[in-house]
Amino acid sequence: MSTTSPSRWKAVRREAGRALTAVVIALAVALIVILCTSADPGAAFRTLLTAPLSSNRTMGLWIDDVAKLTLTGLAFSLVFQARQFSMGVQGQVYMGGLFAALIAMSPIGTTPLAIPVAMLAAMCAGAVYGFIPGYAKARFGASEIVSSLMLNYIAILVVNYLIRAHLAPAGTGQLMTAKFPDTAIFPAIIPGTRFDLGIIIALVATFAVWFLLYRTSWGLKLRLVGHNPKFAEYAGIRSSFIMVSAMTVAGAFGGLLGSVFVQGRAFGNLAQSFDGNLAFEGILIAIVARSRPLAVPFVALAYGYLRQGAQLMGIRTDVPTEMISVVQAIIILLVASSFSLPGKKFFMGLLGKKPAPATPEAAK
């Protein structure tokens, strides 16, 4: 992808086609589920598909989600490209959010420096939190999957404790901090909506990740390690350094997402369990975008729409928001599978027939 080639657009079209097919199949299943469970399936399904466009406010919610989904998608894309399965974005988001909040609530919070310093602190916190599983893997051979997941739980519990016991206004019993000073909250781009600095940050981050991966030698090394670690070693690339640094940089983007959460207009404070499991949905974004940073915002745009539709469906109709997890799971399963357009092989497979020329079982 670093050099233009005629095959590139074909590949983009093919991937987009696959993703769309997956979404259509997933929505069809969603429709069936809604038909089976809702008293007014028409309204529920219509809400799911159209509600995000119903007002300026809902469009703002959608774009706010897009910004956040883009950032988590980027963080996952970075580690996936290095073929690491660090699942630690959620923990990084909490750590980033915590440190952004600490800055915002400190004396710096009332100065014009509040936003940049808080963002920086969040990125550093996230980077440290991303570094830990990377180092544990490189140095001790500890599975990054397990350690990063454990760190997620630890981060959530610690942040929730700090909020409850120390950061929330004393005596109120609230499970969130007071609002940050205005200087520490992202300015709105369209007043009165959640359309704020977050989306700009997400787009800049997209460009930054793309640049890192495709225009720097670090990025090339990272991709070579991801493609073939044995080759990387032979070519003199220190793969353990790349591994750790990829997880650390991804951690910084996870931390940045934490700051976008707490400093965005949606919150403007630090609350318990603030990420609403959004951080994990970056897995889906990265898989559908094939870990290509430039594809991440587009996938986030489409998926964010669906996500917001589901939220509104949960509020306005009798179908719970969580129904969307069915759609998520199906999209991941289908996109990660090697079915090809128009999915003939896949459907034949579903019917239990062998795909036309029997491919010998690839030895792992």
Angle at 295 between CA 73 and CA 9, to 5 degrees: 155
120 vs 335 by CB, closer to other proteins = 335
Whole-number Cα distances in Å, 194 to 20, 154, 186, 188: 28, 30, 10, 7
63 vs 331 by CB, closer to other proteins = 331
239 vs 259 by CB, closer to other proteins = 239
- For residue 334, the minimal CB distance to other proteins (Å) is 8
- For residue 225, the minimal CB distance to other proteins (Å) is 9
> Distance between CA 82 and CA 149 in Å, rounded?
18
Torsion angle defined by CA atoms of residues 117, 114, 268 and 122, in that order, rounded to the nearest 10 degrees: 10
- The backbone torsions φ and ψ at residue 196, rounded to the nearest 5 degrees and listed phi first, read -125, -165
- For residue 8, the minimal CB distance to other proteins (Å) is 7
Angle at 201 between CA 197 and CA 202, to 5 degrees: 115
Place of tokens 């951690």: 251
Question: Burial letters for 97-116: b for 16+ Cβ neighbours within 10 Å, e otherwise?
Answer: bbbbbbbbbeebbeeeebbe
- For residue 82, the minimal CB distance to other proteins (Å) is 12
43 vs 85 by CB, closer to other proteins = 85
Give the DSSP letter of residue 229. Answer: H
Whole-number Cα distances in Å, 312 to 49, 138, 187, 247, 257: 10, 44, 25, 34, 23
CB count within 10 Å of CB 121 equals 23
- For residue 350, the minimal CB distance to other proteins (Å) is 9
Give the up-direction half-sphere exposure of residue 244: CA atoms within 13 A in the CB hemisphere: 14
> Distance between CA 61 and CA 64 in Å, rounded?
5
179 vs 215 by CB, closer to other proteins = 215
33 vs 49 by CB, closer to other proteins = 33
- For residue 168, the minimal CB distance to other proteins (Å) is 13
- For residue 337, the minimal CB distance to other proteins (Å) is 3
32 vs 190 by CB, closer to other proteins = 32
Helix (H, G, I), strand (E, B) or coil at 228: coil
The answer to whether the beta carbons of residues 137 and 144 sit under 8 Å apart is yes
56 vs 277 by CB, closer to other proteins = 277
> Distance between CA 237 and CA 243 in Å, rounded?
11
> Distance between CA 296 and CA 211 in Å, rounded?
14
- For residue 70, the minimal CB distance to other proteins (Å) is 19
32 vs 142 by CB, closer to other proteins = 142
- For residue 34, the minimal CB distance to other proteins (Å) is 11
